[in-house]
Every structure is written in C-alpha cells, then in structure tokens.
Amino acid sequence: MNAQTLGIKNASASRSAFSGDNVSFTLANQGSSAEDKLLAISPGWNSEAAAVKTISGAAAAAIIKEGTIISTSNKEVTGAGKNCQIDDVVKMFVNTPVFLTGLKIQVDNAAQLDEEIQFVKLSPRGPKEIARVIPSSFKNEANQDDKLISIDLTEMNIVLGIDAAVLMNLAASRKVTMTFFYKNKLSIRDMARTANDMINAQE
C-alpha cells in the first residue's frame, strides 16, 4: 500500500511535516537487570509479537501497549500515552491507513538516538523494507538539544496499515517519547469507495 493507492496526490510535494494530527507516547525500559528490547510499535496483521520481524529476521519481544508491556524480575518495559491511549494508537496504525509526515523523538540519553527504527511491509514471503531510520543521522546544527530529533518523513512515503509494521530497539535503562505526525487518514470504507471510483472511471 502506498500514498498513490490511497488517492493521495503528489505525496512528495512540499508540506509541513509537523502539522496536522499527531499521537505521542513514552516508552521506558527500566529495572536493575534491564536488557535491550525490540518493540513492535505497530504489528500490522500480526497478533503475536514473535511474528513481527525486522528485515534481518529478528523477532519483537512485545507489542507496545498502555501500562506494563514486559514485566519480569528487575526488568520492566512500560508505555504511557501523552495525548492518547497507546492501545488506540496501535489499533489506528493497523486498521486505518495513515500517511506519516513526521516523527519527533525525545530521549533521556542521546545513545538511544542511534537505535534504528524500521518500517517494513509485510508479505507472506517475509518483511520488505519501506524505510530504515537512525534518528541521530537527522541531527542538524540548528538543533542544540542532543536528546531531541525531528525527522521529516514526507519524502519516504510511509503509509501504515494492516500490511505494515514498525519496530524499534529500546536500549536498557532508556526512556523515549515518540510523537508521530500523520495526514490523509482514510477509513477502510473510504478506501473501498476510492477503489470503486477508480474502477468506475476506467469503465
């Protein structure tokens, strides 16, 4: 699925990456024995974390949610929505295609910005790359805050939905706040109507 399929014209045209709707949440990986955890921010059509995999085949440890995500002895990964409930964010990313325009990431330790975020297209033959983002590579001289990164996603044409997943490694003892900006949200009904109109136009 891509922007053109959804009837979004000139998806790469100039626009503000950080305007429009947004959802924001914080993920924390804490505890005296905390370990790095690969998290599925959106699982796509997968209901189990182990089925959500990176391009290299690494499986997610958990799908994010509101409250406790992972809890074992001296290890806890938690999620807290800031302007939303994380469970609702995951449902929207899976069930209602959204075109991502921007992403802001704030961390408690700059090292977390070196952790890659993968956007993958799901396929019965395995995941395929949509985009791979290392936040620290988007650092610019205008931003003097080494723990905050703003990433313009408009040129990457990332459309989340049931056939797409998002994964990120959350390093041990790290906390990250992610704000996703999106536009051109279409419901399944709207998408079906758009497809029907396209078929009728060709007849």
- The amino acid at residue 84 is C
Predicted local distance difference test score (pLDDT) of residue 8: 45
pLDDT tens string 117-166: 999 999 998 889 999 999 999 988 777 788 999 999 999 999 999 999 99
**Buried b / exposed e along 45-57 (16+ C-beta atoms within 10 A):** ebeebebbbbeee
Is residue 201's pLDDT more than 70?
no
Query: How do beta strands 37-42 and 62-63 pair?
Result: parallel
- The amino acid at residue 149 is I
**Which helix (H) or strand (E) element contains residue 106?**
strand 98-107
Cα dihedral 138/162/170/129 (nearest 10)? -50
**Buried b / exposed e along 142-181 (16+ C-beta atoms within 10 A):** eeeeeebbbbebbebbbbbbbebbbbbbbbebbbbbbbbb
pLDDT tens string 75-89: 999 999 999 999 999
Could you tell me the two tokens for 173? 């003892």
Question: Cα dihedral sign for 22, 53, 135, 13?
Answer: negative
Return the domain boundaries, the chain. Answer: 21-202
